[in-house]
Structure 1
Amino acid sequence: MHHLVGWGTTVGRGDVTRRSVLLGGLAVAGTGVLTGALGSGAAWAAAAPPIVDCAGWGARPNSAVVPIWNQRPVKILVHHTATANQADVSRDAAFALARGIQNYHMDVRHWLDTGQHFTISRGGIVMEGRHRSLEVLRIGRRQVEGAHCTGQNIVAVGIENEGTYTAADPPAALWNALRDMCAYICGQYGIRPTELFGHRDFKDTACPGDRLYGMLPRLRTEVAGVLGQRLEGAAAVKASWPLLRIADRGPVVLAAQYLLRDAGATGLVPDGRFGRPMADAIRRFQAQHGFEHVNGMIGGESWPVLARPVRRGEGGDAERAVETLAGRRGAESLPDVITAPVWQKLLGTGGAP
């Protein structure tokens, strides 16, 4: 593969937002190493934290049989409930939260039970979410099908964390419980601590909030430590996609505008500013592709479709998007074809695969 000339150096207008800086800052140079023997054995098992089962917090019966798959999950997805960061950290408050989530999922969304497998309160109380999740976890060989993230429900354990972590960090009690719960799940299923993700990695959503999402490298490192492993350097940073929303601006927004035009958006003026016209164009794009979230944000579901493979010299808006980002990153050379990992590096969110 050649690494010569062919890509331009067009620089986008405007400055990146705080969100873009946060996400871009996760892409550090170098390589990382996860030391120790990690496999599907229990040699690196972690102790089970206290977990309140469904009966303990007063769950309703599930309305249908909970599907259980004869396979192990391979990752953990971290969510936030997007509820108030309340000061009441009592068990009663935690149980009321769990009941409220179940009522919403069953009565409004018409699911058979709570969508996530586990819920952690701001007081650090870990609760079973969907029935049989705790039973199956303790066995460590099968997976309860969840409803926490389309496309991930039979391969990922979903954990909801009480609160909204867009501008606030989770309290220590919740954080410690999340770390210990993730370590236990990893030990039971043989999941590498690097395989901890946020909801936004797979959907166009702000979940689990900018602050909690930005703490995922720390979470991976701490979970590895609980398991007696050492996660070094960039191994704790996973390749991802940036989240773009109204009021964002800069080269990443400009590149996204070019990619939307490449995907067929009309009437969109590439100016590096995320306003209502861009949000409307994204909604049309999301609806056209049948995405779950038609919300006008670009995240882990829209980017992989927008950032298609682009060949050097093909011209058009897709190549303009590459040139915008290449100029921003100061790249001296690029491969002949821009694929997803290269896009992520250009977007400032590269990392370990």
Structure 2
Amino acid sequence: MPVASAAEGDAMHVDHPELDRRTLLRAGLGAATVAVVGSQLALPAAAQAAPGADLDWIIGCDEWGARPPADPLSVSAIPTNKIIVHHMAFPNVTDYSEAQAVKLAHDCQDLHMDGNGWSDTGQHFTISRGGYVLEGRHGSLARLQAGDRQMISAHCPGENGRAIGIENEGTYVTDTPPEDLLDSLVTLCTTICRQYGLHAHDIFGHWDFRTTLCPGAQFYRLFPAVRRRVLRKLGTHLSDVPARRWPDLWRFVSSPAVRVAQYLLAYRGYAVTPNSTFDAATVTAVADWQARNGIPVDVDATLTAPTWETLAPELDTHATGLPVQAVQFILNWKGYPDVVVTGEYDHATRKAVQDLQALHGLPRNGKVSTSTWCALVGGVVRQSFRHH
């Protein structure tokens, strides 16, 4: 059975359910979760939503023969606000059959339960390379049908109570997923958006919220195209897309984008070490920056849109120093190996910035505008939906 490394996939990340309790406390809901008893969810009447779309195309846990959860699972008491897409760091098999998809679901559940010690499969849904969509964590399909709250999961610490996790079979650091997988990903993301009231600009990658090589650099390059397809299926008008949708990083996540924020906080004079960990010094600096700039101070140091937009300086190709180091670090992490962190805006950096700008429909001028910063740290810009 393949085992994903901590750097490449989700399999070996530690499950931190306490992060979700903090999420609930932050929302003023205490431990207002709902236990799963067998396959039944005892939700309060107010939480019940009207039945949603026909989801018969998703292979449920009972259908693929999932093991029962080792411990009771819970339903989140806070709203879902994003989708996080993963690759599994499993082999890129050429067996596209339903039998392989079922084997994949079993292998993943066994790895998560027996290897990681989790209660069940970590993610909500799984997509095979043949395009089969399977329920991962028990209860996820019922919650999707209801469109009210999600199962608290284990796919991304800090986001497990508010992000739907989708695992995709394969490893996509240097390869791209098959078309059947991409087609099913678009269909599943569209369905999740409809059921939970989300948008195409609410689709992110795992490494936007966690220090990992998942979902793989080549897969991640396809995300703007995936979002465009979801936008079209949802029928969303371009005017309803925000100019920029920044990743809402907060003190319970660690990721390459956190290090970018740390570089920028250090540039602004704060004693913060760029280490990708949302540590106490970073929390203090974010709160101080928000207060000094008339931005509401977030109790969990969330990097809100006004925080990012005041923190990130626009750079031309003559820039030097910490902001350029931030750009170079995130470019190198996200698939531009020729970019080295020097603090000098060299040719390799400019070329990579221009490539990123083209990918997101931004002017290919090599200057790091606010929208380019947004794309760099994993956010979504409106221009990416105009781009074809």
TM-score normalised by length of structure 1 = 0.60
Distance 1:310 1:231, change over 3 A: closer
Q: Write the distance in 2 (CA, Å) between the matches of 1:311 and 1:52.
A: 44
Distance 1:70 1:123, change over 3 A: same
Distance 1:165 1:323, change over 3 A: closer
1:89 maps onto 2:96 in alignment = yes
Map residues 224-263 of structure 1 onto 2, 5 A cutoff.
Answer: 224-231=231-238, 239=246
Partner SS for 2:83:
strand
| 2:172 alignment partner, one of 144, 150, 165 | 165
> Deviation at 1:234?
9.2
Match of 1:321 in 2: 322
Match of 2:66 in 1: 59
Q: Write the distance in 2 (CA, Å) between the matches of 1:311 and 1:184.
A: 34
> Deviation at 1:211?
1.1
Q: Does the 8 A contact of 1:221 with 1:230 survive in 2?
A: no
Match of 2:229 in 1: 222
Distance 1:238 1:215, change over 3 A: farther
Match of 2:124 in 1: 117
1:154 maps onto 2:161 in alignment = yes
Q: Write the distance in 1 (CA, Å) between the matches of 2:375 and 2:227.
A: 24
> Deviation at 1:130?
0.2
Superposed CA offset, 1:278-319 (max 9, x none):
xxx95xx75987xxxxxxxxxxxxxx8xx9x9799xxxxxx9
Give the aligned residue type for 1:320. G
Partner SS for 1:96:
helix
Q: Which runs of 5+ in 2 are unaligned?
A: 1-48, 250-254, 281-302, 314-319, 328-342, 354-369, 383-388
> Deviation at 1:195?
0.3
Give the aligned residue type for 1:83. F
Match of 1:108 in 2: 115
| 2:86 alignment partner, one of 68, 79, 82 | 79
Q: Write the distance in 2 (CA, Å) between the matches of 1:192 and 1:82.
A: 27
Q: Does the 8 A contact of 2:76 with 2:149 survive in 1?
A: yes
> Deviation at 1:322?
3.2
> Deviation at 1:72?
3.1
Give the aligned residue type for 1:352. V
Match of 1:344 in 2: 373
Give the aligned residue type for 2:322. A
Superposed CA offset, 1:143-187 (max 9, x none):
110100001111000000000111111101000000000000000
> Deviation at 1:263?
6.1
Q: Does the 8 A contact of 1:80 with 1:162 survive in 2?
A: yes
Q: Write the distance in 1 (CA, Å) between the matches of 2:324 and 2:98.
A: 54
TM-score normalised by length of structure 2 = 0.55
Map residues 123-134 of structure 1 onto 2, 5 A cutoff.
Answer: 123-134=130-141
Match of 1:187 in 2: 194
Distance 1:93 1:189, change over 3 A: same
What fraction of aligned residue pairs are identical, expressed as a percent?
38
Q: Write the distance in 2 (CA, Å) between the matches of 1:142 and 1:345.
A: 28
Computing the radius of gyration from Cα coordinates, the structure with the larger value is 1
Q: Does the 8 A contact of 1:120 with 1:161 survive in 2?
A: yes
Superposed CA offset, 1:27-60 (max 9, x none):
xxxxxxxxxxxxxx99xx8764710000111110
Aligned length: 258
1:196 maps onto 2:203 in alignment = yes
Q: Does the 8 A contact of 1:70 with 1:141 survive in 2?
A: no
Q: Write the distance in 2 (CA, Å) between the matches of 1:346 and 1:137.
A: 29
Give the aligned residue type for 1:194. H
Superposed CA offset, 1:116-137 (max 9, x none):
0000000000000000100111
> Deviation at 1:320?
3.5
Q: Write the distance in 2 (CA, Å) between the matches of 1:195 and 1:78.
A: 11
Q: Write the distance in 2 (CA, Å) between the matches of 1:168 and 1:327.
A: 31
Partner SS for 1:98:
helix
> Deviation at 1:229?
2.4
Distance 1:163 1:235, change over 3 A: farther
Give the aligned residue type for 2:69. N
